[in-house]
Amino acid sequence: MAVDNMKTNKVVALNALEKRRFRTPWQEAWGRLIRNKAAVLGVVLIVSFLFIAAFANVLAPHNPLQLNSGKDFLPPSWIETSASGKHGDPEFILGTDTLGRDVLSRVVYGSRVSMMVGFAPTLIIMLVGTFVGLMAGYYGGRWDNFLMRLTDVMYGFPDLLFFIIALISLRDTWLGQFMNGLFLLFFALAIINWVGVARIVRGQALSLKQKEFVEAARSIGVKDSQIMLRHLLPNALGPIIVQGSFLIPGMIITEAVLGYLGLGLKPTTNPDAFFITSWGSLMLDGQTSINAQPYLLLAPAICVALVVLSFTFLGDGLRDALDPRMRGRA
Amino acid sequence: MSAYFIRRILWLFPVLFVVALITFSLMHAAPGGPWDRDLSSRQVDAGTQKVLNAYYGLDKPLWRQFTAYVFGDVSSTTDKFVCGLVCGNLGPSYRVRGSTVQDILFKPPKGKGFEYSRFGYSLRLGLISLVFAIVLGIPAGIFSALKQNSLVDYLSGFISSVGISIPSFVMAIFMIIIFATTLHWVSVVPKSWDEAKAWVLPAAVLGFGTLAFATRLTRASMLEVLRQDYIRTARAKGLHENIVVWRHMLRNALIPVVTILGPALAGLVTGSFIIETMFSFPGMGRAYVTAISQRDYSMILGTTLLYVLMVSLANLSVDFLYVIIDPRIRLEE
């Protein structure tokens, strides 16, 4: 019996070894990621917010633009009587704003802008940054010099100030009118942030091109473009993904700050528009009645905090999974 | 060494010049002039606009306006040379009549000291929050590293991850709602900024991100130092634990922490305008936000340049400090 047990144990162990042998580094990383509870929680939250953003028109209980006369300034439904003496209405779960619009529906629609602003510029940044970084790191010389000088100037210019200046001055031009001002926002975010990605990829390319496998590839006559695409890029992909996951919350915060300053999405009254309001502008609206009606401010603030925390958890998890040496570093 | 720093200081000028150029061109790309922006007040008629443009030199070609802004130009009304940015002249404000931008930022109210100017207020707030972050953050990091995986470590780890990820203005909303609206410990808009109580909330909110970052970094670098051979040697030769911690660990562990002070200070300076607006703080950040909403171009341009200068100087001084405290660092010549 005991011998039998040992045998099966051994077989199990061998099977496990066999299975492990065929796991690629990406599968290993995936395994590490899904064992990280915080990262999984982050992913679940992000996916739910994406779902809410995509189906906002179905999920929102009311039309976010509809003014309910006489039902303005309602507190959330669980509050009996608010500071202004109004009673909660079960029809409006999170209450209504100054003009009697349903807060929950507006917050649901606001998720669209935040999700879009998190992903769209990041995608452009990753593509451009990776391309320029690879070129600069691999070829060196003029490309490299140009990139480094550019980053020196850009690091001197605080990001938020650039966004503010760019958005103020170009807001009323055709560029600023496009997509209710969102396009300009994406553009400004991308123009500042690609440099950071390029610098990271450049560093990776610089160290990778000294490695033997690149030398081997070059000695058998592989073209430069193939070396970059097949040998450098896959090896630099981990840090690129990690950087991307940390960029996204930064974008969402920036959009909220700019929206709060009244510089983000232009408020629209067109019920067919895809982007109707953003969490930043909701906070700007709520700011005026912070004493009487803190819920107006609280609802979008909690959403921003949740989304940003989720992305940070995911980013931390990705970093630990893709680059185990960095584990536990600040 | 000194050659490196001289080069770094000289490098500031082209950076400022490029920033001025970018800001200036963006401002002028905006449709309309400074006179037709303000929809709240009476509109300026075409004839007056022409006179105003001539007075402020806005009828000249763009390159000339830019050189006038940066270096100076002969004034069209008095025929005297008016020095530009290089002399610290940020030009007249388009909105606040009769004041220059530097007056708005640096001039204290009558009979008060410099610390009561907008710039002085912001500087005080920034320094207070930096002190708050360092005084709480570094000990918290040291303690969590020494008592790794204890309850205190987990607690400070949780607080610092919240502090790093939640943006300061969202934190400000939570804090205002908890301490001002619900508990009534402080009022949202204080009657006077001479009371110490009024400063607690804005300084704490502004410094919280830096506090969290300092805690994390101190903890990580302490943990790294803890495993070094020279710590084991120090213990092996029977040194008192206090001496090991204070003299051997801290000195080495705090070096990376110093490097974040520059970016942290820069973050406190540029991050302050949103916090200042939320707390109705009379600093230059709120003046900047007001200028944004009024489209006061010269004010926006001047304040931006001042911010960039401060951020660059903060980074530079920290690099300098870094070399002084760590003789192992050799900067590229």
Distance CA A277, CA A110 (A): 5
Statement to judge: residues B206 and B173 lie in one domain: yes
Q: Is residue A33 part of a domain?
A: no
* Model pLDDT, residue A41: 92
What is the gyration radius of the CA atoms in chain A, in angstroms? 25
Residue ending a domain, choose from B52, B80, B106: B106
Task: Give the number of other CB atoms < 10 A from CB of residue A281.
Answer: 26
Q: Is residue A221 part of a domain?
A: yes
Residue ending a domain, choose from B106, B135, B155: B106
The answer to whether the CB atoms of A291 and B181 lie below 8 A apart is yes
Residue at token pair 């610390």: B115
Statement to judge: residues B88 and B176 lie in one domain: no
Residue B300: which of A168, A297, A329 has the nearest Cβ? A168
| Phi (first) and psi of residue B188, to 5 degrees | -60, -45
- Residue A142's identity, in one-letter code, is R
The answer to whether the CB atoms of A261 and B274 lie below 8 A apart is yes
Residues of B in contact with A328 (CB under 8 A): 220, 223
Query: Is residue A230 over pLDDT 70?
Result: yes
Distance CA A318, CA A32 (A): 9
Residues of A in contact with B274 (CB under 8 A): 257, 260-261
Asked if A232 and A214 count as a contact pair (C-beta separation under 8 A), the reply is: yes
CA distance A216 to chain B (A): 32
- Residue A175's identity, in one-letter code, is L
Q: Is residue A157 part of a domain?
A: yes
The answer to whether the CB atoms of B30 and A294 lie below 8 A apart is no
The answer to whether the CB atoms of B292 and A305 lie below 8 A apart is no
The answer to whether the CB atoms of A256 and B278 lie below 8 A apart is no
* Model pLDDT, residue A327: 46
Residue in chain B nearest A246 by alpha carbon: B165
The answer to whether the CB atoms of A172 and B165 lie below 8 A apart is no
Lookup: tokens for A216: 């081997």
Q: Is residue B248 part of a domain?
A: yes
Q: What phi-psi label fits residue B108: left (phi over 0), alpha (psi between -120 and 50 degrees) or beta?
A: beta
With vertex at residue B83, the alpha carbon angle to CA B82 and CA B86, rounded to the nearest 5 degrees, is 165
Instruction: Check if B312 contacts A (Cβ < 8 Å).
Output: yes
Query: Is residue A291 over pLDDT 80?
Result: no
* Model pLDDT, residue A328: 43
Statement to judge: residues B118 and B95 lie in one domain: no
Residues of A in contact with B20 (CB under 8 A): none
Residue in chain A nearest B303 by alpha carbon: A161
Pairs of CB atoms within 8 A across A/B: 119
* Model pLDDT, residue A74: 74
Instruction: Check if B22 contacts A (Cβ < 8 Å).
Output: yes
Mutation for B interface: A151, A152, A157, most B CBs within 10 A: A157
Query: Is residue B197 over pLDDT 90?
Result: no
The answer to whether the CB atoms of B312 and A156 lie below 8 A apart is yes
Statement to judge: residues B46 and B121 lie in one domain: no
Q: Is residue A2 part of a domain?
A: no
Q: Is residue A11 part of a domain?
A: no
Residues of A in contact with B161 (CB under 8 A): 312, 316
Residue at token pair 């004493």: A291
Which is nearest to B129 in space by CA: B201, B198, B195?
B201
Q: Is residue B332 part of a domain?
A: no
Residue in chain A nearest B181 by alpha carbon: A291
The string over B134-168, giving b where at least 16 C-beta atoms fall within 10 Å of a residue's C-beta and e elsewhere, is: bebbbebbbbbbbeeeeeebeebbeebbebbbbbb
The answer to whether the CB atoms of A157 and B292 lie below 8 A apart is no
Task: Give the number of other CB atoms < 10 A from CB of residue A188.
Answer: 21
SS3 category, B42? coil
Q: What phi-psi label fits residue A239: left (phi over 0), alpha (psi between -120 and 50 degrees) or beta?
A: alpha
**Which residues are CB-contacts of B86 (< 8 A; sequence separation ≥ 6)?**
B70, B71, B72
- Asked if this assembly's ipTM is beyond 0.85, the reply is no
Instruction: Check if B32 contacts A (Cβ < 8 Å).
Output: yes
Distance CA A322, CA A39 (A): 13
CA distance A256 to chain B (A): 9
DSSP string, A94-126: T-B-TT--BHHHHHHHHHHHHHHHHHHHHHHHH
Statement to judge: residues B149 and B32 lie in one domain: no
Statement to judge: residues B305 and B247 lie in one domain: yes
CATH number of the CATH domain containing A216? 1.10.3720.10
Statement to judge: residues B133 and B238 lie in one domain: yes
Statement to judge: residues B57 and B154 lie in one domain: no
* Model pLDDT, residue A325: 57
H/E run at residue A191: helix A182-208
Distance CA B109, CA B117 (A): 7
The answer to whether the CB atoms of A283 and B173 lie below 8 A apart is yes
The answer to whether the CB atoms of B278 and A287 lie below 8 A apart is yes
Note the pLDDT tens digit of each residue in B131-148.
Answer: 999 999 999 999 998 888
Statement to judge: residues B96 and B165 lie in one domain: no
SS3 category, A252? helix
Residue A308: which of B165, B177, B217 has the nearest Cβ? B165
Residues of A in contact with B27 (CB under 8 A): 165, 169
Residue in chain B nearest A326 by alpha carbon: B220
The answer to whether the CB atoms of A249 and B266 lie below 8 A apart is no
Statement to judge: residues B33 and B123 lie in one domain: no
- Residue A200's identity, in one-letter code, is I
Distance CA A91, CA A105 (A): 12
Note the pLDDT tens digit of each residue in A38-72.
Answer: 889 999 999 999 999 888 888 888 777 777 777 77
Query: Is residue B48 over pLDDT 90?
Result: no
Higher model confidence: residue A22 or residue A209? A209
* Model pLDDT, residue A165: 82
Q: Give the residue-averaged pLDDT of A77-103.
A: 75
Note the pLDDT tens digit of each residue in B174-190.
Answer: 888 888 877 888 777 77
Asked if A167 and A184 count as a contact pair (C-beta separation under 8 A), the reply is: yes
Distance CA A6, CA A9 (A): 5
Statement to judge: residues B218 and B183 lie in one domain: yes
CA distance B331 to chain A (A): 16
The answer to whether the CB atoms of B188 and A291 lie below 8 A apart is yes
Query: Is residue B73 over pLDDT 80?
Result: no
Q: How many domains does chain A have?
A: 1
Residue range(s) defining the domain that contains residue B31: 2-106
Share of chain B above pLDDT 70, in %: 91
Task: Please report the residues numbered 185 through 214 in chain B whose beta carbons come closer than 8 angstroms to any beta carbon of chain A.
Answer: 188, 213
SS3 category, A205? helix
- Residue B173's identity, in one-letter code, is I
Q: Is residue B331 part of a domain?
A: no
Lowest mean pLDDT among A11-15, A110-114, A176-180: A11-15
Statement to judge: residues B252 and B136 lie in one domain: yes
The winner for highest mean pLDDT among A93-102, A178-187, B34-43, B324-333 is: A178-187
* Model pLDDT, residue B173: 85
Note the pLDDT tens digit of each residue in B284-327.
Answer: 888 888 887 777 778 888 888 888 888 888 878 877 777 777 77
Residue ending a domain, choose from B106, B130, B148: B106
Asked if A165 and B300 count as a contact pair (C-beta separation under 8 A), the reply is: yes
Distance CA A294, CA B177 (A): 7
Q: Is residue A259 part of a domain?
A: yes
Q: Give the residue-averaged pLDDT of A248-270.
A: 83
Q: Give the residue-averaged pLDDT of A183-198.
A: 86
Asked if A324 and A32 count as a contact pair (C-beta separation under 8 A), the reply is: yes
Query: Is residue B14 over pLDDT 90?
Result: no
Query: Is residue A217 over pLDDT 80?
Result: yes
The answer to whether the CB atoms of A156 and B304 lie below 8 A apart is no
**Which residues are CB-contacts of A289 (< 8 A; sequence separation ≥ 6)?**
A73, A98, A296
Residue range(s) defining the domain that contains residue A88: 41-326
Distance CA B251, CA B328 (A): 13
CA distance B313 to chain A (A): 10
Residue B188: which of A290, A311, A316 has the nearest Cβ? A290
Distance CA B133, CA B155 (A): 17
Q: Is residue B165 part of a domain?
A: yes
Q: What is the 3-state secondary structure (H, E, C) of B253-302?
A: HHHHHHHHHHHHHHHHHHHHHHHHHHCCCCCHHHHHHHHHHHCCHHHHHH
Residue A172: which of B14, B30, B177 has the nearest Cβ? B30
The answer to whether the CB atoms of B30 and A328 lie below 8 A apart is no
Query: Is residue A311 over pLDDT 70?
Result: yes
With vertex at residue A310, the alpha carbon angle to CA A308 and CA A311, rounded to the nearest 5 degrees, is 65
Residue A330: which of B15, B220, B311 has the nearest Cβ? B220
Lookup: tokens for A9: 């144990």
Q: How many domains does chain B have?
A: 2
Q: Is residue B293 part of a domain?
A: yes
Instruction: Check if B127 contacts A (Cβ < 8 Å).
Output: no
Instruction: Check if B295 contacts A (Cβ < 8 Å).
Output: yes
The answer to whether the CB atoms of A168 and B173 lie below 8 A apart is no
Which is nearest to A286 in space by CA: A301, A305, A269?
A301
| Phi (first) and psi of residue B82, to 5 degrees | -105, 120
Q: Is residue B333 part of a domain?
A: no
Distance CA A151, CA A191 (A): 12
What does the DSSP 8-state code read for residue B36? S
